[in-house]
Structure 1
Amino acid sequence: MNLILPSIFAADLMNLKSECDVLYEEGFQVLHVDMMDGNFVPHIAFGPEQIKNIKKQVNMKLDVHMMVSAPEQHIASVLDTGAEMISVHYESTPHIRFVIDQIKQHGRKAGIVINPGTDTFLLKPFLNIIDYILVMSINPGRPNQVFMEETIDRIRELKVMIGQRDIQIEVDGGVDESIASQCIEAGASLVVIGSYLFSNNKAHVKNLKSLEHRERKDERK
């Protein structure tokens, strides 16, 4: 089954609980949270204490995307938030295996994020220790960007590289309903959607939910 992950970055933070309650009632299970340090990316958003408070407010599981330098210095506090899924950028540290090991030892799902300019083959050494790969389809931490079309080919490359391993592919950045459909067709099973989903358009919500039940090409007999 595919999952559409609402991105908190597009939510009305003054009404976060009510917005997330509506999405939860519609069947959305996981909330995507961007943690930004103002160093690895230009903006600052959602530190560990804020994420911990979000966890207390919502009924959804949390998928924390660590856009921070030296994540090995922050992973303990992120684990303390209770987030069920935590991903770290390949580009952010030479100690990525240590960070992944910490996440796994605490029984959480661990992911590696790759920026648009990072070669997919660099993830090969980590395929036996991760649960998912987050493919950035825009440059991270910068708003109002357009989905990069080459992301579809990158998803296909990763799908071949993963083979029969139980690793999911997640996509984040500039995604709407049409692009989400293309990503799922290429092999993604987790798709992050922001403003398109938080637009209070019931048709968008309904159509995106229907994508969760669409078979990917590799699942068809």
Structure 2
Amino acid sequence: MQNTVNPTNTAASIKACLFDLDGVLVDTAVYHYKAWKRLANSLGFDFTEEQNEHLKGISRAESLNRILAWGNVEKSEAEKLELATLKNNWYVDMISHMTPAEVLAGTVDFLTSVRKDGYLVALGSASKNSGIILEKTNLAHFFDAIVDGNLVSASKPDPEVFLKGAELLGVAPNQCVVFEDAVAGIEAAKRGGMKAIGIGNKNVLTRADMVVSGLDKLTSQDLKRL
């Protein structure tokens, strides 16, 4: 059963910021795409950038299931595990060469600002490699809690990853604002009873409370508008 929280006080003041990783703080989508494409090609079919967009915010296992379905390929659970591991090895090899230069515009300034203003900060990502990425991009020190695919089992739009983040920070869900670039992530925030700021296209992230093109378009003062 999927987690859902009904907020009891929608006027609660924001105390914590929960960030997705890919597409919000850094852009690792290109590395996921290259690794999945390599895997698909090795199985005899192609994988497009448009298809890659449909994998935003979901787990590695679910991503693999979708890719195999697109390629009309059937594999046993053991074979799926081998393929997912192979893809991840290729992906980790690529992200191990990331640098702080790959942090998206405005990320460091915004994280610095919300920390200075007393907001708690957590990561809420489906990625199981968030530790490597945060280390390579020099962002780890901003976070009070890190919740990723190693700590949760349910994929977004299930709100488990964000509810766990709120729990670790010691705040109520309705005191949190989530920063997400994926429809599934915005849906997860809403199911968790949280505010959501979309990073991307307002015509796509329609359920978000606010949508901007990037963190460089926000200041910590904008959170008070929520």
The normalised TM-score by structure 2 is 0.34
The normalised TM-score by structure 1 is 0.34
| Greater fraction of residues in strand | 1
The structure whose Rg is larger is: 2
Greater relative contact order structure (CA < 8 Å, 6+ sep)? 2
